[in-house]
Amino acid sequence: MTPDLLTALTSGTYWGIVGIALLLIGVTVGLHYEVLQRLNCAIPRSRLPPRRRVLLLIFGILAAHTVEIWIFGVGLHLATLHPAFGSIGGAAHHELLDSIYLSATTYTTVGYGDLVPHGPIRFLLGLEALTGLVLITWSASFTYLEMRRYWKVR
């Protein structure tokens, strides 16, 4: 075992970031599941015409993703308040909206690179990117199935 790996495995800081990441992933995946489940039940019962049902679906999914980005952003911001977890470079004064912005670029895997994580929080952001990718593709699959139901091919 290399010294760096041994240090990481015995460090409370690294395990703290792992715990924070697992908590944030659990909350966002659970939220996403609940939103899709509720949309799946509500949309077929809706008296809206098919096109409006799809719009309701899209706005519901966008709202869910926005809340999920905020959940990760707030978690990231709180983690950076503990210096051992790391910091965000590129912002003169790191504020909550900087964390939300970094969360949005990470969740969507855009990654502009103007804000850069340093230290163990890089692991948190890496897992956020993976989570965002999975949740966005889940939303796309769900949207496709709903659109097939309501949009007839001529």
Digit-by-digit pLDDT tens for the chain (154 residues) are: 666 666 666 778 999 999 999 999 999 999 999 999 999 999 988 898 888 888 999 999 999 999 999 999 999 999 999 999 999 998 777 899 999 999 999 999 998 989 999 999 999 999 999 999 999 999 999 999 988 887 765 5
Which residues are registered as beta bridge partners of 117?
Answer: 88
Tell me what pLDDT residue 148 has: 86
Model confidence pTM above 0.85? yes
HSE-CB of 26 using CA atoms within 13 angstroms: 6
HSE-CB of 98 using CA atoms within 13 angstroms: 17
* Residue 94 DSSP class: -
SS3 category, 144:
helix
Tell me what pLDDT residue 23 has: 98
Tell me what pLDDT residue 4 has: 67
Tell me what pLDDT residue 93 has: 78
Place of tokens 């994580």: 117
Tell me what pLDDT residue 17 has: 96
The amino acid occupying position 76 is L
Q: Tell me the domains of the chain and their CATH numbers.
A: 13-150 (1.10.287.70)
Q: Who's near 62: CB < 8 A, 6+ residues apart?
A: none
Tell me what pLDDT residue 44 has: 87
